[in-house]
Amino acid sequence: MAYIREQIRNYLYHWLSHVEENSEIANLISSLLHNKGKIFNDGSKFTWAEFYYYVARLFDERDESKTSQIVCSAAVELLLVATDILDDLADQDSKGEILSSIAVPQAINLSNILWTNGLALINEQGGHHSLTVAIQQLKKAAYGQFTDLYFTIDRNNKLTEADYFAHINQKSVSLTKMVFLMQHLPKKTNAFWIQIANYIGWSGQIGNDTRDLFDDTKNDLYDKKATLPIIKAIEASQKKGDRWFLDALTSTDFSKNGLTVSKIRMYIKQTGAVNYCTILSEFYLNKAIQLIKKYQKTSMHKDACTDFIQFLGGNND
């Protein structure tokens, strides 16, 4: 597994050394690729580049396909860094890894450079089908990111768990779908792989949203984002006729009061919302792994299935 990471890294080192004569750009992109969860960071468990690679191998294990799969993996990593930059800019996460080390004008331009280069690499190595799918799904994600600005809690909150799932299907699950649909899938199996992409996307987004609530460098809580743990905590409080939580959460200046932030976080935990979301996140990942194991039984690509299951953190019992 570590060998694949090294190969993708080596390709990106090579790409960075040729991308542009301006070495500042290469240095800044390299530093972004060292952030948490990115391919140059030794502590990363899940990276989008490896995710792409292991998915691609499920459908094509030929040696001659490996180079283009590595290039497309690197391209997907670049595209996801570009979306991370825009996310942090939109959320004004000035304490986050990106904006604490890169000025806003640089961040905007780097995002643009990463988008264009990522798509160019897919065009060169993945071909017309992969490029078309990537653009389709990135468009969906972009619209989802825009609506995310307004997917927030107000004093008369009516948002439900179903609204949350509809929202993340557009905002982030479109990216896991992109990775699967960029492959040349047998037509009849599309629905099967989309279901796996849904499960992986739901698991990842619910897990991130739950962790981010307790991360001081993330603004989701202060921006009153309607994430699943918040929606469920409101539901629990309303069932008990308790107004404190919604009043505290929707008060304009709670972010300045550390004590209120701690109380809000404790309240969310005590409602069971964090437990619920953590269970759901693991459950959906398990569902994806179960489906891949089912496919593995009749697949020609058994080793690729084993690698993908291991990458997702499952075992091959």
Partner 1 sequence: MNEKLWTLVQELVSQPHVNASDLAFAGAELDPDLAPVFVKHMNQEAATLNDPIEWA
Residue 301, SS3 per DSSP: coil
Contact map string, positions 163 to 182, toward partner 1, x by CB under 8 A: --x-----------------
Quick one: 71 or 268, whose CB is closer to partner 1?
A: 268
- Which residues have C-beta within 8 Å of that of residue 128, sequence separation ≥ 6? none
Structure tokens at 249: 């959460």
Within 43-72, which residues bind partner 1 (CB under 8 A)?
none
DSSP annotation string for 164-217: HHHHHHHHTHHHHHHHHHTS---GGGHHHHHHHHHHHHHHHHHHHHHHHTT-TT
Q: Measuring CA to CA, which residue among 222, 178, 212 is closest to residue 36?
A: 212
Q: Which window, 7-15, 77-85, 120-128, 271-279, contacts partner 1 (CB under 8 A)?
A: 271-279
Quick one: 278 or 299, whose CB is closer to partner 1?
A: 278
Quick one: 13 or 283, whose CB is closer to partner 1?
A: 283
Q: Which of 12, 99, 280, 288 binds partner 1 (CB under 8 A)?
A: 280
| Least distance between partner 1 and beta carbon 243 (Å) | 7
CA atoms of 110 and 56, how far apart (whole Å): 27
Is 76:12 a contact under the CB 8 Å cutoff? no
Q: Which of 113, 185, 215, 272 binds partner 1 (CB under 8 A)?
A: 272
Structure tokens at 269: 């935990």
Quick one: 96 or 204, whose CB is closer to partner 1?
A: 204
Quick one: 111 or 237, whose CB is closer to partner 1?
A: 237
Q: Which of 9, 192, 282, 291 binds partner 1 (CB under 8 A)?
A: 282
Quick one: 61 or 282, whose CB is closer to partner 1?
A: 282
CA atoms of 52 and 56, how far apart (whole Å): 6
Q: Measuring CA to CA, which residue among 217, 216, 209 is closest to residue 94?
A: 217
Q: Which window, 64-72, 81-89, 279-287, 301-309, contacts partner 1 (CB under 8 A)?
A: 279-287
Contact map string, positions 226 to 245, toward partner 1, x by CB under 8 A: ------x--xxx--xxxxxx
Phi, psi of 142 (to 5 degrees): -65, -45
Helix axis angle, 48-59 to 2-19, nearest 10°: 110
Quick one: 189 or 238, whose CB is closer to partner 1?
A: 238
Residue 263, SS3 per DSSP: helix
CA atoms of 93 and 157, how far apart (whole Å): 24
Interface with partner 1 (CB under 8 A): 161-162, 165, 232, 235-237, 240-245, 267, 269-272, 275-276, 278-280, 282-283, 286-287, 290
